[in-house]
């Protein structure tokens, strides 16, 4: 019998995520997927799922869930309090939630996004090969609301051998993003390029799944014209008219007309997903 999970509390923004749908940018479809891909993979390994199984990605305030049958879950990513029917439960390691009990994933005590993996994975219907919610295009399931019911796939037959303590990275006290200049670095003055890799920025509270916005010195253009729209990639650092860099994350548009001064290394974007507003930020050359 298929396990079903009822959403008791959706939280500020809880979405279903996996590794996304790469390879469809030519159709105008972003990759989407978990912003902290490392946390998704580790959470799935800890419950015995394939690394790319669909999980829940919460934002700041967590969520609450009630399964109709007993399930094994792990809550990882951003540290947060976890309770089962009001009793404290472990964060970062698998726990068993009995049928009808309420798993409450609380407010993040550090970082932004927690991940809830259920043994068997969240088994909503895939769209273009992925179950991920894409907030830009609207593909995939809508963000979760109270009363939603989620199907769970068949649980793995054998549970994994678990380490004593899973290696969850701490949210960054300072976010350092390695970048490579280009393709439109020549649209900025030499002073602006030097400022970009030497000045300090902070993470803006206006950041979201589409892009990490920054606060700090504006970057002056060498050219005042406008570019025709061109393809955008994950990690592109686009500079809009206010001069403050924006780092494109997983729900980014596939085209854009503002110049891209650099591209951030994809491996560093998991930390960007957990950088709270006000976190110091530095761009460094690879």
pLDDT in tens, 15-62: 999 999 999 988 889 999 999 999 999 999 999 999 999 999 999 999
Give the per-residue pLDDT at 166.
Answer: 75
Per residue in 247-269, pLDDT tens? 999 999 999 999 999 999 999 99
Per residue in 165-210, pLDDT tens? 678 999 999 999 999 998 999 999 999 999 999 999 999 999 999 9
- The CATH topology of domain 175-285 is Cyclophilin (2.40.100)
In the chain, CATH 2.40.100.10 sits at 175-285
Per residue in 128-170, pLDDT tens? 999 999 999 899 999 999 999 999 999 887 665 555 567 899 9
DSSP per-residue codes, the chain: --EEEEEEE--S--EEESS--TT-GGGT------SSHHHHHHHHHHHT--TT--EEE--SS-EEEEESS-EEEEEEES---EEETTEEE-SSS-EEE-TTPPEEE---SSSS-EEEEETT-B-PPPBTTB----TTT--SPPPP-TT-EEEE-PPPSSPPPPPSS--PPPPPSSEEEEEEE-SSGGGB-HHHHHHHHHS-EEE-TT--SSEEEEESPPPPBS--S-PPPEE--TTEEE--TT---EEE-TT--SEE-S-EEEEE-GGGHHHHHT--TT-EEEEEE-
């Amino acid at each position: 019998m298929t396990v079903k999970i009822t959403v008791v509390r959706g939280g500020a923004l809880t979405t279903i995520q996996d590794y996304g749908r790469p390879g469809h940018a030519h159709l105008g479809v972003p990759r989407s997927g978990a912003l902290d891909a490392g946390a998704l993979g580790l959470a799935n390994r800890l419950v015995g799922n394939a690394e790319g199984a669909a999980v829940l990605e919460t934002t700041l305030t967590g969520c609450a869930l009630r399964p109709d049958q007993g399930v094994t879950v792990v809550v990882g990513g951003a540290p947060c309090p976890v309770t089962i029917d009001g009793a404290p439960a472990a964060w970062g390691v698998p726990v068993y939630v009995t049928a009808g009990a309420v798993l409450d994933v609380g407010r993040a005590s550090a970082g932004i996004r927690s991940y809830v993996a259920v043994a068997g994975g969240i088994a909503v219907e895939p769209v273009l090969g992925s179950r991920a919610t894409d907030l830009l295009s609207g593909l995939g399931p809508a963000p979760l609301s109270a009363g939603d019911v989620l199907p769970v796939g068949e649980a793995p037959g054998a549970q994994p051998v678990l380490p004593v303590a899973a290696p969850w990275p701490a949210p960054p006290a300072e976010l350092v993003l390695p970048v490579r200049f280009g393709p439109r670095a020549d649209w900025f003055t030499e002073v602006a390029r030097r400022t970009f890799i030497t000045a300090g920025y902070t993470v803006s509270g206006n950041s979201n799944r589409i892009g990490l916005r920054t606060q700090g010195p504006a970057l002056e253009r060498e050219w005042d014209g406008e570019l025709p729209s061109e393809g955008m990639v994950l990690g592109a650092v686009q500079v809009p008219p206010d001069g403050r860099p924006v780092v494109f994350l997983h729900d980014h548009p596939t085209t854009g007309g503002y110049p891209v001064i650099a591209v951030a290394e994809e491996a560093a974007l998991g930390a960007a997903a957990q950088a709270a507003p006000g976190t110091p930020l530095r761009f460094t050359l690879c």
